[in-house]
């Protein structure tokens, strides 16, 4: 599936809406042309010795989509699905996301085509450092600032920043400034409190702001696909806010309980077993007597108030769009709904909160981490989450105004805000 073209199709739809983006159509055409191609594609080949001593060349990418608003920014993922089209798509989404939430940052994305679960910790470290050596010339606090994404975490960011600082030379004067080359680092290495939970926290803030305006009454039932950094942290925050999480899954399948699941207990069980499947009635989680195992596909089709895809792209597509019954879909994963499925869900009145708004908490707190590093400060989590709220409150407000006034769905209203901000740089 060509996800980049698919995303461009979603984007192009805003031209045909009952909303005038600019008085100068030529500007809009120029912007769309610019957004349809990334500014730079860095494709690297990473030599890597396997356990049997054989040399393997691993594919890696850093795609710098657009820097109209500031230095490129975006995560790095390790996954065997990584390819140029996927990274390209994600880099475009980063350009739109940073613009929508008003950050002075552009869009980029990186990836290494590998299944990290098959690697030892030492192998992961060697590969992470090799990747930095290959992209070194193209990154830096004023050029491009990578961060974690699928299968990467603060440990990997720590190895990467360490390699970056080594390459920059021991006598580098402004080391604190250079620390801002990577975000999502551990606290000891210059990371910021709350970064780990930031994407989940952002999802909770956006959902809370929108359900109030949409007049949804709690408790609302929730199903979450993907229980990694994003899915788990969001589940924790939603449980505190009185949402009833009735289904959770990971790559190996999921569990369902109509009485609700406790995310912390499910995580405990997942850690013990290595997967969620079966956790409804094992060990300390056995109080969910009425639970049952479900597949990922069954989870997506549940009749819930809020469905939260927080794993992979394109999971809601032409094959299942007609079966999706959730009232609200909060896109915590990037691009979880294909263009065709988006149309079907919109037609039946389903509310989609788009990825560029729903999951922007991660990049917002990454930006705060950059500021903390550059100003040599240490922020408390409370301050971080307060600032996060301010950014999201403003973005939701702008999106809501367009949605209300022109009867435009949340995806298109969000794209309009993002494009309007980018247009200011084209004149
Ligand atoms: P992660 O690696 O921590 O977790 C991914 C989760 O998805 C795991 O539980 C995994 O088991 C599950 N999964 C993998 N394949 C699956 C499948 N086929 N079906 C169901 N579940 C599957 O990754 P993450 O950081 O939580 O990222 C999840 C999504 O959120 C990605 O789309 C990512 O791009 C997006 N995102 C992440 C961040 C961030 O700060 N980490 C920010 C914005 C967006």
Domain ranges of the chain: 39-189, 198-358
Task: Write down the pLDDT at residue 139.
Answer: 98
27 compared with 353, residue with greater pLDDT: 353
Distance from residue 420's CA to the centre of ligand 1 (Å): 29
Q: Which of 107, 109, 228, 354 has most ligand 1 atoms within 8 Å of its beta carbon, as the pocket-test mutant?
A: 228
> pLDDT class for 89, splitting at 50, 70, 90?
very high
Q: What average pLDDT is seen over the chain? A: 93
Residue with CA nearest ligand 1 atom 40: 362
| Domain 39-189 listed as CATH 3.40.50.10860 | yes
Alpha helices by DSSP H, 282-379: 296-300, 339-347, 355-358, 361-374
Q: Are 107 and 72 in contact (CB under 8 A)?
A: yes
Q: What pTM does this model have?
A: 0.95
Residue with CA nearest ligand 1 atom 42: 362
Residue 23 has pLDDT above 80, yes or no: no
Task: Write down the pLDDT at residue 283.
Answer: 47
Distance from residue 23's CA to the centre of ligand 1 (Å): 40
> pLDDT class for 237, splitting at 50, 70, 90?
very high
The answer to whether domain 39-189 and domain 198-358 are alike in fold is yes
Task: Write down the pLDDT at residue 187.
Answer: 96
Q: Residue 323's CB: how many other CB atoms inside 10 A?
A: 12
**pLDDT tens digits for 271-296?**
988 899 877 655 445 545 567 899 99
Task: Write down the pLDDT at residue 140.
Answer: 96
Residue 168 has pLDDT above 60, yes or no: yes
Task: Write down the pLDDT at residue 427.
Answer: 62
280 compared with 243, residue with greater pLDDT: 243
DSSP state of 318: T
Determine what percent of the chain is predicted with pLDDT higher than 90.
84
CA-nearest of 393, 387, 389 to 370 is 387
Using a 10 angstrom Cβ sphere, with 0-12 exposed, 13-18 middle and 19 or more buried, the burial of residue 316 is buried
**Cis previous bond, 329, omega within 30:** no
Out of 10, 97, 109, 185, the active site residue is: 109
Active site residue 347: no
Which CATH topology does 198-358 take? Answer: Rossmann fold (3.40.50)
Task: Write down the pLDDT at residue 170.
Answer: 63
> pLDDT class for 173, splitting at 50, 70, 90?
low
> pLDDT class for 73, splitting at 50, 70, 90?
very high
Q: Which residues line ligand 1 (CB under 6 A)?
A: 148-151, 199, 225-231, 249-251, 296, 310-312, 332-334, 359, 362
Question: Which residue carries 């440990």 as its tokens?
Answer: 155
Give the tokens for residue 58. Answer: 């691993």
Using a 10 angstrom Cβ sphere, with 0-12 exposed, 13-18 middle and 19 or more buried, the burial of residue 66 is buried
The mean pLDDT value for 304-325 works out to 97
Give the tokens for residue 310. Answer: 């927080």
Q: Which of 230, 270, 294 has most ligand 1 atoms within 8 Å of its beta carbon, as the pocket-test mutant?
A: 230
Residue with CA nearest ligand 1 atom 31: 333
Residues β-bridged to residue 292: 256
């Amino acid at each position: 599936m060509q996800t980049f073209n698919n995303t461009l199709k979603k984007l192009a739809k805003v031209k045909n809406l009952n909303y005038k983006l600019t008085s100068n159509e030529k500007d809009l055409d120029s912007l769309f042309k610019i957004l349809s191609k990334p500014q730079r594609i860095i494709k690297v080949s990473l030599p890597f010795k396997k356990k049997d001593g054989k040399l393997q060349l691993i594919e890696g990418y850093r795609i710098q989509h657009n820097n109209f608003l500031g230095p490129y920014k975006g995560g790095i993922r390790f996954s065997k699905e990584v390819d140029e089209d996927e990274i390209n798509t994600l880099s475009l989404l980063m350009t739109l996301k940073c613009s929508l939430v008003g950050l002075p940052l552009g869009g980029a994305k990186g990836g290494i085509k590998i299944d990290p679960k098959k690697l030892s910790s030492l192998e992961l470290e060697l590969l992470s450092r090799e990747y930095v050596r290959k992209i070194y010339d193209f990154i830096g606090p004023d050029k491009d600032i990578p961060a974690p994404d699928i299968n990467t975490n603060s440990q990997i960011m720590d190895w990467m920043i360490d390699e970056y600082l080594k390459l920059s030379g021991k006598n580098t004067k402004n080391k604190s400034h250079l620390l801002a080359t990577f975000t999502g680092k551990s606290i000891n290495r210059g990371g910021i409190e709350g970064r780990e939970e930031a994407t989940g926290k952002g999802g909770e803030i956006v959902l809370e702001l929108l359900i109030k305006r949409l007049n949804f009454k709690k408790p609302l039932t929730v199903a979450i696909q993907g229980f990694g950094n994003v899915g788990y942290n969001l589940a924790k925050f939603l449980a505190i806010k009185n949402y009833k999480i009735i289904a959770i899954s990971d790559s190996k399948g999921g569990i369902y309980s109509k009485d609700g699941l406790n995310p912390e207990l499910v995580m405990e069980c997942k850690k013990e077993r290595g997967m969620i499947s079966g956790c409804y009635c094992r060990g300390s989680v056995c109080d969910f007597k009425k639970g049952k195992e479900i597949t990922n596909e069954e989870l997506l089709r549940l009749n819930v108030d809020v469905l939260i895809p927080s794993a992979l792209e394109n999971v809601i597509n032409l094959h299942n769009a007609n079966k999706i019954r959730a009232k609200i879909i909060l896109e915590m994963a990037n691009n979880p709904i294909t263009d065709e499925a988006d149309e079907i869900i919109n037609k039946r009145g389903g509310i989609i909160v788009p990825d560029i708004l729903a999951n922007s908490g991660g990049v917002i707190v990454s930006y705060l981490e950059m500021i903390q590093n550059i100003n040599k400060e240490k922020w408390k989590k409370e301050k971080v989450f307060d600032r996060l709220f301010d950014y999201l409150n403003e973005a939701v407000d702008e999106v809501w105004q367009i949605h209300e006034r022109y009867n435009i769905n949340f995806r298109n209203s969000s794209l309009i805000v993002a494009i309007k901000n980018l247009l200011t740089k084209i004149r």
